[in-house]
Structure 1
Amino acid sequence: MGQPPNPGESPVDVLVVGAGAAGAVLAARLSEDPDRSVLLIDSGEMPRGEAEFGPDLLDARLVPGARPDHPATTWYPVHLTPRRPWRVPRGRGLGGSTTVNGGYFVRARRADFDRWAAAGNPAWAYDQVLPFLRDLENDLDFGEAGDAGEARDAGESSEDAARLHGRSGPIPIRRSSLSHPAAEAFRAAARQLGFPDEPDKNDQAPPGFGPVPSNSVAGVRHNVGLSCLPAEVLDRPNLHTLGGTRALRIVVERGRATGVVVEHEGARRTLDARTVVLSAGAFATPHLLLRSGIGPAAELARHGVPVVRDLPAIGARLGDHPQLVLDWAPREDLGEPVDTWLGGCLHLASAVEAGGPGDIEILQSLVPMAGLVGGAVRVPGAPLSFLVSVQRSRPSGRLRLGSAAAGVADTAAHAHAHAHAPARAKAHAHARADGMPDIAYGFLDMVDDYRRLREAVRTTAALLAAPALSALSEGLLDPNPRTLDDDRALDRWISDHLMTSQHTCGTVPMGPADDLRRAAVDQFGRVHGVPGLRVADTSILPDTPHRGPAATAVLIGELVADAIRRQSA
């Protein structure tokens, strides 16, 4: 498994670049067919089983990706706004970001799927993808043999559990227990303010308060590599994996992709393949395409990159969810969580999106932010936090080729940010922009962005003031009441404290080939005009779903694998 094919061997049938949420699924599903050879490569390590991942990456009470420069991450310098530099981690190695993220595994909303289908991707309609969503999961709460009799009495939540959820898929799903005192108080406060219960956030009931579906079970984060590529799958004779392998350029001969130039153990070589699938993530995949001459012709020409295929949509429609961290001080030590850092979660539709699928998310952390950043479950005296984000679908950013001479972004804006920001700022100052793409998120570029975030902050403050939470809390630490009551002051606070949910999508969007300004691949990831080349990661989503995209990333792997198995790749 640890060596690339020898020179002179026949090309592999499918070369998958990136072993993350979608890539691990692709390798597992495609190698189910014994006559198809599959090679899975990644720049990071390829652990084999829980023992090789180790407790640092498996402990569901922590988020390795929150720790600056964790070895299982790659950090990208970005600008959230022109004045707000930041760094965004992406997972590397088997499992990708599912190895280092919080384990949040919530499906996109029906409105997201149907919007994507209406944009020329009919296979993405909710009713079309539901069988794939069911088949990828082992839902331990609402699966066929799960606790389907729990309260499900609002709107679409009355749908039959066996039709909505699976119990035989590779990804285990368990919802947070809400037994921690802070989680119990959050649930009670949400009810006191009149928000409905939402016991199953993976059906399509109206948004409300409920536990978080997660791929963490009994305190263990089951990343997608661990779940989809156990030892018995890795031992398939037609599947090979290769870690420590950096993809440098896609090889295109006579208009067709025929392989990838890689660097492995200090040497460069070409890995030949009949089909190349890029699953390197919404930053690395478009960057690799651009470096290979596939992207906006004018931009490629400016950087002296020979144009292989003019696809102006690549990098032009980046989307993500803006986020803020709101700290509150418990009156006494509430104890550490047993199984997961995730508490309860409230979704609601903002006044801007009244009646919509819920564009505001208030997610509870049961571990102090200082603990998540420092790798410790308990930090005596530290505040707890709510992660407050706007789950909008509008693409606002862009990704371009970066200049090798690009300087490091100014980090002064970090100096007075949240308690964990100094570590991030310090890490940012030591980052090199050399070889990295130029990424701008375009957050806060519309008045509605501020309106939604103001409502999210004020709703969180109201929850903390409700009797159930105020009994445990000294209240919101920042912003102060005077700032909360003043739109302009609150907007300034938002600008100074803005972060990202790290839900990047849309950098290689899918859609029909007659609209190349908006679409670079078809609904099954085939790159328009480059036979033999596909993309399978959240790059292909036309915009960002109303929920974090981890579950949707796995779905992408399932859909593209199914398409390859049904079609001549």
Structure 2
Amino acid sequence: MGQTEHGRGRVRRPDVIVVGAGGSGAVLAARLSEDPGRTVLVLEAGPVSHRPPAFASELLDARLVPGARPGHEAVQPYAVHLTPTRPYTVVRGRCLGGSTTVNGGYFVRARRDDFDRWSAVGGAAWSYDRVLPFLRALESDLDHGADALHGDRGPVRVRRTELRHPAAVAFRAAAHRLGFPEEPDKNAQDAPGFGPVPSNAVDGERVNTGISYLLGASGRLNLRVEGDSTVLGVVVERGRATGVVVERYGRRVVVCGGEVVLCAGAFGSPHLLHLSGIGPRHELESLGVGVVRDAPAVGARFGDHPQVVLEWMPRRSMPEPAGSWLGGVLHLSSSQGGHPGDLEILQSLVPLAGLMGGRASVPGAPLAFLVSVQTPRLTGRMRTRSADPATPPSFEYGYLSTAEDRRRMREAVRVTAELVGTSDFGEVSGGLTEPVVRILDDDRLLDQWVLGHLGTSHHTCGTVPMGPADDPRAAVDAYGRVHGVEGLRVADTSILPTPPLRGPAATAVLIGELIADAVRRGLT
């Protein structure tokens, strides 16, 4: 298809085609369309809502996590293996705003150490000092306002969780009892400790990037957002991306454009590259896919954060959370880890049964801590299994494959148990439901328990990593340009060389901002 309808007129061959309207894509498209001389077409596989009331109330209610609900219509499920013997289902948002519409509203910046690692391969553009202006520009911090670290004019409203709920008060006291420092602003790069969670949920409403970025730009004549448009591949002619193949309502068409930017996420973007002939030569040839660019780094590795849920029984009935399911969060450092604050204990003020069932209150149910190891590790591997776009790739996470991985997880679980066992937390808690003391005290038994309860934080990164063009471990440059293919970029968390030490939602928005700026300014 060489042209697309656009409001009151028609736009021939958009300057930029953005694939995916999620945490990065919505940001990138909105920023690029600020230039009235540039036409932008966004293609989103899921349905597109054009005003906040069109979102179902459960997609806005910050006390709920739609992505935790099995079979939710706003997510795309993927069958994966966390370990060779641990099958699991992970999800990604399939709607306007992508995963920012269905996640927990956690909006914590990456750490300075992360930017040091990323800039070592991506150059100065990824240094903390260079990205800080973008971090300030993307937010309106309702707690701090404008200062050296925070902004007050950006699209994303950020507010820290209130720690007034009895369970949050007890968590704070228990962390203090065990000697952990206060960390009142998780976005300030202070020493890791206990504090509230910066969140893009304000006054009980989760504000996704579709709302914060795209809806405000929906009146621009140079921007069009089309839903129910599944991109099946990129068209590459003589070494240049010239468009994409799109399936709409069972019909396939070709949409031509001046430049293509994949923002389909750490699962979707590498899969599209493989289907387009950009990936490891021998794997593509074995599938019968014509090789456009031998790119061994695409899908070769990825990182995420292994997680287990520890539940505890309240001594008395707990009130529903007022505005968010999130309570406090504790970051601590694993022994001999080398990455300060790489263990996270995140408090849920809604029972796990409520998160999975779409209810903010489940009388008599235990509450939970989400315990994860966030050491920046690349243990996963993605493989495209068929040239048919309808066949999903396989994902092997490789979690807990080393003694060090297992030791870190044991440490995080045992600290959580120690917190719950304090007299301070005992004011509200009758103790953990499991693991029992006998298991906690035995490394072998605790490893077995963890493997039987293992989940993931849904923080996948690194499937299309950035780095120098002569590095076989890199697939794109610092601004997301695919090595060896003109007119094609990737702009989502797949380009991060390693996962951050914190959940990547805020970093996904940063990627959209940074790459949009590079496109607008013609940076190379």
TM tier, shorter chain?
A: over 0.9
The question of 1:455 aligning with 2:426 is answered no
TM-score, with structure 1 as normaliser: 0.90
Partner of 2:174: 189
* Cα contact 2:264–2:492 (8 A) shared by 1: yes
- Return the offset for 1:3: 4.9
Alignment of 1:180-219 (within 5 A): 180-219=165-204
Question: Would the alpha carbon gap of residues 93 and 108 (structure 1) be closer, same or farther in structure 2, given more than 3 Å must change?
Answer: same
CA contact (8 A) 1:295 1:313 kept: yes
Give the Cα separation in 2 of the matches to 1:487 and 1:2: 60
Of 58, 63, 66, the residue aligned with 2:65 is 63
For residues 417 and 30 of structure 2, the distance between their equivalents in structure 1, rounded to whole angstroms, comes to 45
2:134 alignment partner AA: F
Partner residue in 2 for 1:468 = 424
Match in the other structure for 1:566: 521
Corresponding letter in the other structure for 1:84 = R
2:218 matches 1:263: no
Q: Distance in 2 between matches of 1:434 and 1:91?
A: 17
Quick one: which of 216, 232, 236 aligns to 1:252? 236
The alignment's TM-score, normalised by the length of structure 2, stands at 0.97
- Aligned with 2:253: secondary structure? strand
Asked if 1:515 is matched to 2:465, the reply is no
Matched, 1:392 2:375: yes
CA–CA distance in structure 1, aligned partners of residues 408 and 52 of structure 2: 41
1:2–1:241 contact (8 Å) kept in structure 2: no
| Counterparts of 2:82 and 2:108, CA distance in 1 | 24
Does residue 107 of the first structure (1) align with residue 109 of the second (2)?
Answer: yes
Q: Which is further off, 258-267 or 100-109?
A: 258-267
Confirm whether residue 92 of structure 1 aligns to residue 94 of structure 2.
yes
Give the partner amino acid of 1:554. Answer: V
Q: How is 1:315-464 mapped onto 2 (pairs within 5 angstroms)? A: 315-353=299-337, 356-403=339-386, 435-464=391-420
Q: Which residue in 2 is equivalent to 1:416?
A: none
Letter in 1 for 2:485: V
What is residue 533 of structure 1 aligned with on the other side? Answer: 488
The answer for the alignment partner of 2:205 in structure 1 is 220
d(CA) in 2 for partners of 1:447, 1:225: 42
Structure 1 distance, partners of 2:288, 2:204, is 50
- Percent identity over the alignment is 62
**Equivalent residue runs for 1:13-92 within 5 Å:** 13-92=15-94
2:289/2:387 contact within 8 Å kept: no
Do 2:200 and 2:207's aligned partners in 1 also have CA atoms closer than 8 Å?
A: yes
CA shift, 1:5, in A, is 10
CA contact (8 A) 2:4 2:12 kept: no
Residue 506 of structure 2 corresponds to which residue in structure 1?
551
Q: CA deviation at 1:467?
A: 1.1
Does 2:151 align with 1:166?
yes
SS in 1 for 2:501: coil
Measure the CA separation in 1 of the matches of 2:420 and 2:410.
16
> Could you tell me whether the CA contact under 8 Å between 2:4 and 2:11 is conserved in 1?
no
Q: Amino acid of the residue matched to residue 56 of structure 2?
A: G
CA RMSD of aligned residues (A): 1.7
| Unaligned 5+ runs, structure 2 | none
Deviation at residue 9 of structure 1 after TM alignment: 6.3
Determine helix, strand or coil for the equivalent of 1:389. Answer: strand
Q: Is the 8 A contact 2:466 2:495 kept in 1?
A: yes
One-letter code aligned to 1:70: H
CA contact (8 A) 1:323 1:501 kept: yes
Amino acid at match of 1:481: V
The verdict on how the C-alpha distance between 1:463 and 1:568 changes in structure 2, with shifts beyond 3 A counting, is closer
Q: Deviations over 1:84-128 (max 9, x none)?
A: 000101001210000000000000000000111012432100001
2:139 to 137, 145, 149: 137
Number of residue pairs aligned between Structure 1 and Structure 2: 521
Distance 1:279 1:123 in 2: 20
Q: For residues 55 and 555 of structure 1, do their structure 2 counterparts lie closer, same or farther at Cα, with a shift above 3 Å needed?
A: same
Deviations 1:119-143 (A, max 9, x none): 2432100001000000000000112
Q: Which residue of 2 aligns with 1:229?
A: 214
State the 1:54 CA deviation. 2.7
- One-letter code aligned to 2:513: E
SS of 1:21's equivalent?
A: coil
Instruction: Give the deviation of 1:352 after TM superposition.
Output: 2.8
Task: Give 3-state SS (helix, strand or coil) of 2:162's partner.
Answer: coil
Asked whether the equivalents of residues 65 and 89 of structure 1 are also in contact (C-alpha less than 8 Å), the reply is: yes
